[in-house]
Chains A and B, each alone.
Chain A
Amino acid sequence: MSDIGFVRTEMLPEQDPPASEVGIIGWMRHNLFDGWFNSALTLLSIYFVYKVLAALVPWILSPTWDAGSLAECREVLGALGREGHYAGACWGVINERWIQLIFGFYPAELYWRPIAAFVLLGVALAPVLFSDKVPSKLLIFTILYPFIFPWLLWGGTIWGPISVVLGFVVGWLVYSAVDKAVSNLALVYSAVDKAVSNLVGIIAGAVAALIWWLILSGYFVGAMDSIAAIGIEPVESRKFGGFMLSITIGVVAIACSLPLGIVLALGRQSDLMIVKYLSVGFIEFIRGVPLITLLFVASTLLNIFMPPGTDFDIILRVLIMVTLFASAYMAEVIRGGLAALPRGQYEGADSLGLNYWQSQRLIIMPQALKISIPGIVSTFIGVFKDTTLVSIIGLLDPLGLSNAIRADANWNGIVWELYGFIALLFFVFCFSMSRYSMYLERKLHTGHR
């Protein structure tokens, strides 16, 4: 056996990796200068970023916050030795008008109302959005919120929303009373069973609620007003504007389109041919035309479609059309959620003996809606961005207001500051919502989908 020259008996001390592989140098070698092509790209990108920043930063850093007009801005910049068209931004316009860009022409002493409405919106949404962190008793407030929201924004007597709520209460009372009475009859006549009493109850309840809303509530509101005139100052729709208008349209459209969208999605998935074709026709029609044509309908045609003499508010008309628009997209999102559920869920519900509505309510919808929340959020972002279109039919959303502000002699010639500010606000809203939807996607991605 030849002798082995050398066998190491002790461990060598660990060595550090080469300096070019770790730390900031190693990171740069791997991520920035990995071959000649990447190096060139990196240098080019750095040059591009430098150029953009060199042009933007001095422009943004301009001490014109207190200026009262464009000429004053130029003076301030001129005193600093900064001449020329793009010497610096004129932030005075934002300082003077930001509150208008947010609230439009809403009366200044009533600003607390929209603020309260949107803060309460957060409270109302919390039990839905962060269901694991917020007590579920808040859901009662969520149910009442749709009646508080318009009252806070438009004002008027408090008996209006109360009377609307009472309509639901009346309907419910009549439903349970009739249901009970007919069930008692069922003990006598065997032909009448549970389903009939239920159906008769629902019809009676709906009729009672309709009678209340259409006929009695007017008297009720009038009577209660003369007894105790509790109310807040009404605000006309044409004073609405700015981001408040955008958020109002976005929130109302999404909230109303959710139930409509669910119905349309179920209709589209349904086995009933006529119901299916009606739903498909509606969805495809709305998705095939641009929102601007629907807004034309709101501004010119909707009054023509209503009984002669009807004349309702332009914001209400826009709300109706945007809701219809959003509901078609919502239906497609929910249909995606329904399709993503495994077939076994439907079959399981059937084999438990649940009927269609029971299985939808208890098995299908809770899962399908959970899957579609990210899609719903992105639909909301889309609708929120699309609310800028109302400026084309003459409503004063931020973009419409920016034109009004530029028509002011003091600020004639301002462009970038206004657009930049509006873009920034939209960006903050939409970006945070899209991050939220990503957070949800991660949170919901547990176990089966």
Chain B
Amino acid sequence: MTTLTDPPKEQFRLSMLLYDTRYRSATIQVIALIGFMLLAAWLISNTMQNLEALGKPVEFGFFAEPASYDINQRLIEYTSRDTHLRAAFVGLLNTLVVAFLGCVTATILGVIIGVARLSHNWIVARIMTVYVEMFRNVPVLLWIVFIMAILIETLPAPRAFRGETPEASMMLGDSVAMTNRGVYIPEPLFSNSLGDVHLFGASSLRFDVSLDLMAILLVLGIGIWVSNWIKHRADRIQEQTGDRPVTWWQRTAVIVVPMAILLYLLGFHLGYPELKGFNFKGGTHLRNSLIALWLALSLYTAAFIAEIVRAGILAISKGQTEAAAALGLRPRKIMRLVILPQALRVIIPPLISNYLNLTKNSSLAIAVGYMDITGTLGGITMNQTGRELECVLLLMLVYLSISLIISAIMNWYNESVKLKER
């Protein structure tokens, strides 16, 4: 006869921390954490001792001191009497501007090139292959300085535009001047301007928001919303009756007409650049450094995006196109309704990382003297104040935040186009 007994209760022994898988993971983690904290403590204590010896305790007071250097390309007003914080803010906006412009241009170029590389036209496909390999295999920094050199060396000086028979002339009906000091384009002006809103008073982060711009964006937004509403209505009618009302002119009109009225009311006109003395006045001045950086980053990243787009389109099997054609869809609708939504799913995740790369590469602006956040905070401010630790750490923090924000936005977009699985 047998009696059932509980197995003897195991007593906790110290060796179980090592052998028992239940406890071992905890042991390893505690050791890892202690090791990490020891390392961090060691680094911090070294830093403290070194900074003490140098007489530079960590503090951020220098941000309130006047920067006393000039920034030539800027979105918001800034003088050399403004603070270092303001200079960093101007630099941050410059980084965002070039990153945004670069992402937009690189996407457009990349999509065109990627599709063209798949073309049946032999010579077009070859040219695009050469383009992609040429840009992918040469460092982006080299492209930036190379394009900067092209702009400076080949474009005419402003004085070439002078005289009775000038050597150079302005383009697009005397509205755009491309000189070796930069490109002058017309600027939008409003004769009945609504004025600006000044935000943040007189602090270093103050900036002006143009009410004209806000009004335009508002009207545009409402126009797009109404246009979408018309589309949804057309969808509903199509579902109920099978006939789709013709809506393209309504949808265009609700965007264009209010915009035209608003621009007329605001007294919209363009301010053209004009040659006065030795230089151009008026218009918007895009410096060579901005153009070189923008062009180089777009062309370089476009080569990568082209490969992504190509891979995305190739990833959709031929059967999808054939099945859609068998359902009676026309080629354009096949592209829009069947191929693109599926290709986008493949394309978007690597596209995100290319946008991030472009934004991080924009820090190479320092090589051509474009004053982005690296040029201001990590460049002149750091050299002037000698606060390397504070400046570099803040610089990293800024880039880290930009990267995280971009990837958050793009991941959110990715979620919305992703295949909805069970």
Contacts and interface: CB of A to CB of B under 8 A. Distances in A.
A427 B374 contact: no
A287 B403 CA distance: 9
B122 A289 contact: no
B335 to A, nearest CB: 16
Given A32-B122, A292-B363, A301-B389, A385 B399 contact: no
Contact of B29 (A30, A273, A287, A297): A273
B25 A419 contact: no
Interface in A262-285: 271-275, 278, 285
Nearest to A386: B139
Nearest to B363: A290
Interface residues of B, number: 56
Contacts of B361: 290
A359 interface: no
Interface in B46-81: 46-47, 49-51, 53
B130 to A, nearest CB: 10
Contacts of B395: 289, 293, 296
B388 interface: yes
Interface in B2-39: 15, 18-19, 25, 28-30, 32-33, 36
A307 B46 contact: yes
A196 to B, nearest CB: 8
Given A285-B400, A304-B51, A388 B141 contact: yes
A426 B366 contact: no
Interface in B125-147: 127, 133-134, 136-142, 145-146
Interface in B101-158: 119-124, 127, 133-134, 136-142, 145-146, 149, 153
B270 interface: no
Interface stretch (A3-11, A37-45, A94-102): A37-45
Contacts of A41: 119, 121, 124
B273 interface: no
A34 B120 contact: yes
Contact of A275 (B28, B122, B382): B28
Given A31-B122, A308-B53, A301 B138 contact: no
A7 to B, nearest CB: 39
Contacts of A38: 120-121
A419 B144 CA distance: 11
A389 B400 contact: no
Contacts of A426: 137-139, 142
Interface string A301-333: 101111110000000000000000000000000
A31 B121 contact: yes
A191 B46 CA distance: 43
Given A287-B356, A308-B50, A415-B149, 12 more contacts: A41-B119, A45-B123, A49-B127, A273-B29, A278-B36, A292-B366, A303-B50, A381-B137, A385-B140, A389-B141, A426-B139, A430-B138
Interface of B: 15, 18-19, 25, 28-30, 32-33, 36, 43, 46-47, 49-51, 53, 119-124, 127, 133-134, 136-142, 145-146, 149, 153, 356, 360-361, 363-364, 366-367, 374, 378, 382, 388-389, 392, 395-396, 399-400, 403-404
9 contacts: A34-B120, A199-B18, A275-B29, A278-B32, A293-B378, A293-B399, A305-B46, A305-B50, A385-B138
4 tightest CB-CB pairs across the interface, nearest first?
A430-B137, A290-B360, A288-B403, A300-B388
